[in-house]
């Protein structure tokens, strides 16, 4: 694929410039990776918290007595009130798919879940519960309506349905001001929109009676529910809360548990002494046992989290860092670094344990992986060098291997120079990287010796993969795009990686005449994987030009319009090549008053497998297809 290189370089350059101006990035000057003098500590009291924030934001130095008068308006007030594939035996004999996740056994929230008999799915502001198995009993049995909120994901655990929601945005405060002169009326009555602070909720329903779900727990957090995980009946929530309220008052973090307002004291808040901020957020890790509702809370005063990764024993928060370093000659070097905070998890006990800063960007979860006690990280580096009045840049990919203390024990830098990192997949002793500029290199990195990672294989093919998904032994799927004959098409690749030194593309398919895309290219949860059958499925979106005759005021008018087409495609890889075995079109058309078809946008499309049946689930409903044996 030939990418729009000038446009992409402009967008990335603007993005990098935006990072410099952002108010939510850490700042480390003249600090080589990974030697950073950082300590993990807790505040003594609320005044200590306030002093730390003021001193870090003002100068990056320890506070002194002359700063104390600045603290007068900082009274802390609370203004808010408010997949893996399992065996059939493990599921009571019914064979069905789980959400496609990064770590087997650690579930991730999605719009659709199943327990093998029922399907739970989002429909605008509702959660619908459908009887799905046996197939001849397919029907909606109940619904849960949540007003004035946006549903961001759900979980199903035993007979508990967990619904994650959020609110926030902008609103107008309308006023009546007869005393204002005419030329000021408009601004007085319609002032600029004011932001509404985001609020996140977690609702837990007892769905043992599927016909009558019962709300049993309600959590409310001021702030954004950034990510969540569910494992062994324990739910882990990562919430970002604002530090400041109105008039720049410092707020203590808080939440509401089943109607009880709880404020987290300053003495319970961790901070990273040595990392000074342009702006602060509270990163709250809330862990709760779904059955007993016993919970614990860990809070860190830190920067903005870009992504998280959870293993069986740890949660890792990745946070962007901007740094400027002096060169040996006159000039400066600027690049983004990433701070990674390691949080030890032992049941409900959650505690920060280590931190490291590495060169480059970590902005998606598959760039981190824990294996045999080591954390492996891939980073994309975009480096700007200014010498006198000339600015040059270069890009490349780094791999870091870190021990349990997050000390770098091995690294591989400068991979794919002048290329951008598009996809990462760690699998056992190997890492697979897709970079792209003009042609798509698939790099294979041998990590079996953590001290000396090395490139052992490389493949160059047209197009690029945004998502890498293993399927069966020695096979890897790539989902991405290619430009052919001026058309931006979806490209599905099947790689043979059984020989790490010689990865090969053994089959590929392109989809779309002019344009095609898929959520699966950037969201792994949109991929259905049935490994034992060598089958996977993804949603696909295309556009078609339609000519139709419509009746407007009894006159037949010929019109031409673009029609979005939503499909779900199932592929077979069992014979070592890609084959389309089923292509299901989802009807999204409705008709207006003039018989002109209208088309609705689908927020998601998911495929679910239950006992040789495929259920295509979207906000429009469920399509049931039997999988050919």
The terminus-to-terminus CA distance of the chain in angstroms comes to 36
3-state class (DSSP) for residue 261: strand
Residue 571 to residue 215: CA distance in whole angstroms: 40
Average pLDDT score over residue span 40-47:
86
Residue 455 to residue 448: CA distance in whole angstroms: 12
- The predicted-structure confidence for 122-163, as pLDDT tens digits, reads as follows 998 999 999 999 998 999 999 999 988 899 999 999 999 999
Residue 443 to residue 549: CA distance in whole angstroms: 52
- The predicted-structure confidence for 592-610, as pLDDT tens digits, reads as follows 554 555 666 789 999 999 9
What are the distances in angstroms from CA 130 to CA 89, 93, 135? 23, 20, 11
Instruction: Work out the pLDDT band at 278, boundaries 50, 70, 90.
Output: low
Which pLDDT score is estimated for 187? Answer: 45
Q: Nearest CA to 439 among 418, 457, 424?
A: 418
- The predicted-structure confidence for 286-298, as pLDDT tens digits, reads as follows 999 999 999 999 9
- The predicted-structure confidence for 323-365, as pLDDT tens digits, reads as follows 766 565 657 778 888 999 999 999 999 999 999 999 999 999 9
Which pLDDT score is estimated for 327? Answer: 62
Which pLDDT score is estimated for 482? Answer: 87
CB atoms within 10 A of CB 101: 20
- The predicted-structure confidence for 49-79, as pLDDT tens digits, reads as follows 888 877 765 333 333 332 222 233 222 222 2
Average pLDDT score over residue span 192-201:
74
- The predicted-structure confidence for 531-565, as pLDDT tens digits, reads as follows 889 999 999 998 777 666 666 666 677 766 677 78
* Residue 247 confidence (pLDDT) above 80: no
* Residue 181 confidence (pLDDT) above 90: no
Q: Would you state the torsion angle of the CA atoms of residues 129, 133, 137, 142, taken in this order, to the nearest 10 degrees?
A: -10
3-state class (DSSP) for residue 78: coil
* Residue 180 confidence (pLDDT) above 70: no
More confident residue, 11 or 560: 560
Q: Would you state the torsion angle of the CA atoms of residues 480, 85, 144, 122, taken in this order, to the nearest 10 degrees?
A: 10
- The predicted-structure confidence for 434-462, as pLDDT tens digits, reads as follows 988 756 689 999 999 999 999 999 998 88
- The predicted-structure confidence for 491-513, as pLDDT tens digits, reads as follows 999 999 999 999 999 999 999 87
Residue 440 to residue 459: CA distance in whole angstroms: 8
Which pLDDT score is estimated for 91? Answer: 45
Mean pLDDT, the chain, integer:
81
* Portion of the chain with pLDDT greater than 70, in percent: 76
Domain ranges of the chain: 31-305, 487-629
**Which residues, at least 6 apart from 307, have a Cβ–Cβ distance to it below 8 Å?**
227, 318, 362, 363, 364, 365, 367, 368
Q: Nearest CA to 479 among 422, 511, 521?
A: 521
* Portion of the chain with pLDDT greater than 90, in percent: 55
Which pLDDT score is estimated for 230? Answer: 98
Q: Nearest CA to 334 among 20, 34, 38, 60?
A: 20
* Residue 413 confidence (pLDDT) above 90: yes
Which pLDDT score is estimated for 321? Answer: 80
* Residue 272 confidence (pLDDT) above 70: yes
Q: Is 215 left (phi over 0), alpha (psi -120 to 50) or beta?
A: beta
Residue 113 to residue 290: CA distance in whole angstroms: 17
What are the distances in angstroms from CA 556 to CA 533, 552, 559, 589, 598? 51, 6, 10, 20, 17
More confident residue, 466 or 180: 466
Place of tokens 């052992």: 456
Average pLDDT score over residue span 458-477:
90
Rounded to two decimals, the pTM is 0.84
């Amino acid at each position: 694929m030939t990418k729009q290189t000038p446009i992409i370089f402009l967008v990335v350059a603007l993005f990098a410039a935006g990072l410099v101006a952002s108010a939510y990035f850490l700042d480390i000057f003249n600090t080589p990776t990974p030697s950073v003098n950082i300590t993990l500590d807790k505040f003594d009291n609320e005044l200590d918290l306030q002093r730390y924030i003021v001193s870090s934001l003002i100068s990056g130095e320890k506070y002194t007595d002359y700063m104390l008068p600045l603290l007068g308006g900082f009274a802390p007030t609370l203004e808010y009130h408010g997949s893996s594939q399992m065996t059939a035996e493990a599921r009571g004999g019914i064979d069905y798919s789980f959400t496609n996740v990064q770590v087997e056994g650690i579930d991730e929230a999605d719009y659709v879940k199943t327990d093998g008999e029922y399907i739970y799915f989002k429909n605008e502001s509702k959660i619908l519960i459908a009887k799905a198995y046996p197939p001849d009993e397919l029907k909606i049995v109940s619904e849960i309506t949540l007003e004035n909120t946006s549903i961001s994901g759900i979980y199903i655990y035993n007979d508990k349905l967990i619904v994650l929601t959020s609110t926030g945005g902008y609103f107008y405060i309308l006023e009546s001001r007869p005393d204002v002169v005419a030329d000021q009326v408009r601004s007085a009555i319609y002032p600029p929109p004011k932001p509404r602070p985001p609020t996140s909720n977690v609702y837990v329903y007892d769905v043992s009676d599927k016909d009558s779900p019962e709300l049993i727990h309600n959590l409310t957090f001021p702030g954004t529910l950034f990510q969540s995980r569910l494992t062994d009946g324990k739910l882990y929530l990562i919430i970002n809360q604002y530090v400041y309220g109105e008039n720049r008052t410092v707020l203590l973090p808080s939440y509401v548990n089943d109607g009880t307002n709880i404020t987290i004291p300053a003495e319970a808040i961790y901070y990273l002494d040595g990392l000074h901020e342009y702006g602060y957020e509270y990163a709250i890790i809330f862990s709760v046992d779904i059955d007993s509702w016993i919970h614990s809370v860990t809070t860190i005063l830190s920067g903005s989290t870009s992504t998280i990764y959870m293993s069986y024993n740890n949660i890792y928060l990745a946070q962007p860092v901007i740094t400027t370093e002096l060169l040996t000659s006159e000039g400066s070097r600027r690049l983004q670094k990433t701070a990674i905070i390691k949080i030890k998890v032992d049941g409900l006990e959650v505690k920060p344990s280590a931190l490291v800063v590495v060169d480059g960007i970590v902005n998606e979860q598959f760039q981190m992986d824990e294996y045999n006690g080591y954390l492996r990280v891939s980073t994309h580096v975009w480096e700007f060098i200014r010498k006198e009045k000339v600015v040059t840049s270069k890009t490349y990919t780094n791999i870091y291997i870190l021990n349990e203390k997050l000390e770098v024990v091995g690294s591989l830098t400068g991979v794919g120079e002048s290329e951008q990192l598009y996809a990462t997949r760690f699998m056992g002793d190997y890492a697979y990287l897709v970079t792209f500029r003009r042609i798509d290199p698939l790099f294979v990195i041998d990590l079996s010796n953590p001290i000396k990672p090395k490139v052992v294989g490389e493949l160059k093919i047209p197009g690029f993969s945004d998502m890498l998904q293993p399927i069966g032994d020695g096979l890897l799927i790539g989902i991405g795009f290619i430009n052919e004959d001026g058309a931006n098409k979806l490209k599905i690749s099947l790689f043979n990686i059984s020989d790490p030194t010689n990865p090969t593309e053994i089959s590929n398919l392109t989809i779309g005449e002019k344009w095609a895309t898929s959520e699966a290219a950037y969201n792994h949860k949109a991929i259905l994987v049935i490994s034992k059958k060598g089958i996977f499925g993804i949603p696909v979106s295309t556009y078609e030009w339609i000519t139709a005759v419509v009746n407007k005021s009894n006159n037949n008018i010929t019109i031409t319009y673009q029609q979005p087409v939503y499909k779900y495609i199932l592929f077979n890889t069992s014979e070592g090549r890609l084959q389309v075995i089923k292509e299901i079109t989802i009807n999204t058309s409705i008709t207006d008053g003039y018989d002109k078809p209208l088309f609705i946008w689908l927020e998601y499309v998911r495929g679910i497998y239950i006992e040789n049946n495929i259920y295509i689930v979207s906000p429009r409903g469920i399509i049931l297809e039997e999988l050919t044996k």
